Chain A
Amino acid sequence: MAPIFQQGSEWNLLAALFIGIAFGFVLERAGFSTSRKLAGVFYGYDFTVLKVFFTAAFTAAMGLLYLNYFGVFNYELVWMPTTYVVPTLVGGAIMGVGFIMGGFCPGTSMCGIATGKIDALAFVGGIAIGVFFYGVSYEWLWEDFRLTTNIGKKTMSEVLGISPGIAVLIFIIFGLFVFWLVDKVKKEYNIKDVEY
């Protein structure tokens, strides 16, 4: 039964390293070490991010669901975030602006550093400054706010009142629709590729 390795064990840390290597390898393969490709998703000249991101999300969602059906995976035993509606939305909005200004998100910036992008290094320096600022201002800005609108460890199927399988199916159909839509948008508006 998953998880295979005990939390905090040395085997688990070794697994973390190898999982990270696979993660970094795939991100770089997909072209996520370049900020200009990543930013393309917001200007319509390159929708790679959206395609990789959503394909990964519903592949994983479907895979974990199947492992659960097979009885080797239990959602209760793994990481599952508690949903704090408003802080999550505000945090996401702040990150969205950070994404368009910096051209990276934290994971992809690590990948950018790996391939020698100095701007990625600057971005990670920025993250450290941001985390520091958050910590210093924690007690008077964030501490109370971050705990508001707690709805618990909710999944989409629970909130929508449908079975987990149907929820994943809807997610996949939605994803496929988005893929079709973005390709159509790029074609329809004749958005040119950008050289990088």
Chain B
Amino acid sequence: MEDKSKKFMNPYLAGVLLGFVIIAAFFFSGEGLGGSGAVKDAVRTTVAKIAPSYAENNNYFKSAVDSEHSPIKTWLVFEVLGVLIGGVISGAFAGRLKLMIEHSPKISSKKRIIFAVLGGILFGIGSQLGRGCTSGAGLSGMAVMSVSGFLVVAAIFGTGYLAAWFFRKLWI
């Protein structure tokens, strides 16, 4: 059997390349990379379209009602579209495109999906409170050496390690 891990890029090389992508984002667009911003924008726009009167009176959704659209949000939407395309291209080259629910053999697909949704919910809340996710607040924040970036990364990984014991059955 072919060793699958061989097909992944050396992590340090991938890191340097990812670093160049971040530099390009700042150099060309003045923006950091992001992951959660596009989902945030989609949710806010949806709420503003479906329930405009509710959105008008909610301080979080309000700004999405205005006709003038914040350019940074749109930048993140285009960037995330790009991530999907880039992921498909790389996956296709490596022969990794496959419809599946990936999980440890010790848990069921159903359990995996439930925990994926729960994890997503927490990330949705946390990324709004922390003003960005692992990429948007953490990686991009550290690239400009901002205190915020280092704090959020320390909190994400620190809590991840603390919580890992409780959820070990999901993974190992």
Contact = CB atoms under 8 A, between A and B. Distances in A.
Interface residues of A, number: 135
A117 B27 contact: no
Contacts, number: 552
Contact of A81 (B8, B42, B80, B131): B131
Interface bin, chain B: 35 or more
Interface in B137-157: 137, 139-157
B119 to A, nearest CB: 2
B102 A196 contact: yes
Contacts of B8: 29-31, 37, 48
Interface in A163-196: 164, 167-168, 171, 193-194, 196
Contact of A102 (B24, B72, B100, B122): B122
A13 B53 CA distance: 30
B148 to A, nearest CB: 4
Contacts of A21: 82-83, 85-86, 89
Interface in B1-48: 4-5, 8-9, 11-12, 14-36, 39-40, 42-44, 47
16 contacts: A21-B83, A24-B82, A24-B83, A28-B96, A55-B18, A83-B147, A93-B126, A93-B158, A95-B156, A96-B159, A102-B117, A102-B118, A109-B120, A119-B112, A127-B120, A135-B44
Interface of B: 4-5, 8-9, 11-12, 14-36, 39-40, 42-44, 47, 58-61, 71-72, 74-76, 78-91, 94, 96-104, 112-113, 115-137, 139-164, 167-168, 170-172
Question: Which are the 9 A-B pairs with shortest beta-carbon distances?
Answer: A102-B119, A130-B124, A126-B120, A20-B82, A55-B15, A91-B130, A92-B155, A59-B19, A24-B86
